[in-house]
Chains A and B, each alone.
Chain A
Amino acid sequence: MEFWNGKGLLVDLKEQKVEDLEVEGIISSVRGGYDAGNELVKEHSDGEPLVIGTGIYTASFFPSGCMGFILWKRNGKNFCLPLNWFFPVEFKLTGFDFLVIKNTSSSPVRLWIRDGICDILPAENLMGKDVWETMDFLKDDHGDEKVQALIAGNNSLSQGYWGGFDSNGCGEEFRKKNLKAVCVRGMGSISISEESFKKMLKVPRGKEIELSLSDEMKKLIHRRTACFNCGLNCYPFFMIEDDPKILKESEKKDPGFISLDPVYLKDENPKVAMEMLRKGSHPEGLKDDEIPSSFLKFAGVEASLVKECLNFGVCPLFFMKVLNGDKSHFNF
């Protein structure tokens, strides 16, 4: 299947079992990843599932094709946590398009996914470690800097070191399942035709956006970075413990931070922001939004458009700012 692996993973934490899921049928019958993910939530509703998913153009040459999501239900209501940065791409390149996590483990565990394999590993040694310590451990244990992870922090789910938009309880769902982290490394491949490749190169790539930060915060900016395959450079690195002008690798252990959700910076207190990211404490705590309000604010769009973009795996902010909301760019 072009753009897809056609495979999913089903993990039952209670039974400690992993099995492959055939998802070609679902993918072919719906509009895209988000809709397929919702079908999987319904299909596996007996196990209070968390569904981690990707969109059509996640891990492709479509600019900003970096998006994924986590879907779940709580008290009968649907919830969605959009994921950006690099986790969705690494996940899709492990050979799976979706991950369904059901039930609860009797002891703390983490998932380690790569090359079509998923292992349920004990995570007692990670209890008591904060998000950054956990991420350091995962990169070291698996011996690869490119490893990405979703980590249950203090009150939220963190995408690697840099937080994320979870203020609607996804981290809490992880904790309820005794799931400390989902760790991935994608070394596989996705099939993309030459025709699609050439068309994707014609999609406008945009350019670096203006950041709305105070002058004090701007002084701390080291180099600006971006999510996978994106040129908007939404994410400056704030260098707190070293010279922001430094170009060689800092010798400080934790010299600064990136915040995927700008709301961490709302009080303009970088040290506090860094500590919150380290601990996995989202400043908005636990709210009842279907899609976190801070994400809607970041992307500048309504929920329905977020869902449409998640079908395609494309960043909604990019979709509005660069593609002017023109859905014809999605037709291949």
Chain B
Amino acid sequence: MSEVVARQLQSTSSNIILNNIGGILQVVQSVKTDTQSISGSSAPAYGLSLVTGLSVTISKTSPSSKTLVIVDMRGAGTGSYNRQEWVLMRNGEPCFIGQGQNQVDYQNSAVTNQTTGRFPVNTDATPTNICSTGCWFYDTEIQELQDNITYAVYGGDRNGDSTVFINRNNQGTTASSETVCASSITVLEIA
């Protein structure tokens, strides 16, 4: 194996083409093409359930590397649309959430309002509506980790009074008025 040790690579015209930070070392992705329904009462963790298929594991090649996590998701809420939320998890713990008013009692899903995002509900629309949601998260807190890191999306209705739907609307999947969509989670290892 050849090995070059340098801080920077430049082209012959002195343009920097590789720096000692910022380069992408690997890209992994998981795609979800099936549908899922999550009701509030069925959500076990943080008031949320795993969105199956939107989970991806990356094994960093260097302890100092960071990751860029991109969630791109389609979904819908229902009539009691308040608290229909989703959270980006790292190794089973929330890693990118808002500053809620009940931060201390995070494990009690009924009172915390910290989340990564919400499933948009358009109250003017009929139940066949679907919206897009997602996030870009640059994870800089994992420098001590080099083994497998798993990022996953969890979703649900966190006050337990309705259901959220992934890749589908809240009405169904088989009628001629309905569409089944696709979602993805992508992780880039950044030097």
Are A and B genuine complex partners? no
